[in-house]
Amino acid sequence: MSTPPPGKLALPELAAMKRRGEKIVMVTAYDAPGARFAEDAGIDLLLVGDTAAMVVLGHESTTVPVTVEEMLFLTRTVARAARRPLIVGDMPFGSYQVSDEEAVSNAIRFVKEGGADIVKLEGAGTSVSRARAIVAAGIPVMGHVGLTPQSATMLGGFKTQGKTAERALELVAGALELERAGCSSIVLEAVPSAVAARITELLEIPTFGIGAGAGCDGQVLVYHDLLGLTEGHLPRFVKRYANLSAEIKGALSDYADEVRSGAFPDEERSYSMDADELAEFEAALENRTAIRE
């Protein structure tokens, strides 16, 4: 890996923050304005999530359709706009499931073409081997256990995971395997807070909770959810810090009304012309009209 540019948050600092008990902040980002706003707010990591399938690309209730090319485009856009935050490129469904070799090849694309500092993949099981291979290639990996949206169908839908002792122990084992494989951090999604807290205690690497309680080392939310840009049903763990959808719709409605009524643009928002130049322009235009006739 190349040396991070000046000002970039160093990856080892995340583990140091965990040791110091400092909470780490991550949010999703999909475009340049969102990346700049997040950086200005002091966010530590920007996750270019495959949730883009739903909140940006219009697919309903699934992250599966988003492609590598689409994710590379979004990751590259975010990486161009942010300087300090670590950029996490979310590897979409199908980009790492086939083999270790294909996983490494696509991870390299996320670094070289997308500008990602870290790649994220979901699940334990075969993903442990994939994570190990990617780390061996010199690319940091963020793991993800609990509710894994790419395989939500196999989990019976978007449901809380680890609610039984047996299943909770499986999550612990999966998280430990990912740590041993070299992951530098792990997302815990839709996991009982007590289970997430115990996993966090057992791991030396940071955990990021999303619906996993306050015991994690950091938290992550979807940009559109926390800003109130997402409408309809939201998961229980989402907190809206703004209601921008109402403001945006109101602004667009006002704009449409003023265009239709002729109130926009007014004189203040129009450009004037020197009176003599305007007279010359009009005279020349009339002359040309007369010649054509």
Tokens of 250: 């109101």
User: Which of these is catalytic: 177, 179, 189, 201?
Assistant: 189
Kindly calculate the radius of gyration of the chain based on its CA atoms and give it in whole angstroms: 25
Cα-based distances in Å from 160 to 27, 55, 276: 21, 21, 73
Nearest to 24, CA basis, from 241, 226, 217, 238: 217
Q: 163: which residues sit within 8 A by CB, 6+ positions away?
A: 192
| 8 A C-beta contact, residue 75 and residue 30 | no
Nearest to 222, CA basis, from 186, 172, 187, 175: 187
Nearest to 143, CA basis, from 109, 99, 181: 181
189 is catalytic: yes
3-state secondary structure of 139: coil
Report the C-alpha gap between 128 and 143 in whole angstroms. Answer: 9
| 8 A C-beta contact, residue 107 and residue 137 | yes
Q: Mind telling me the catalytic residues?
A: 189
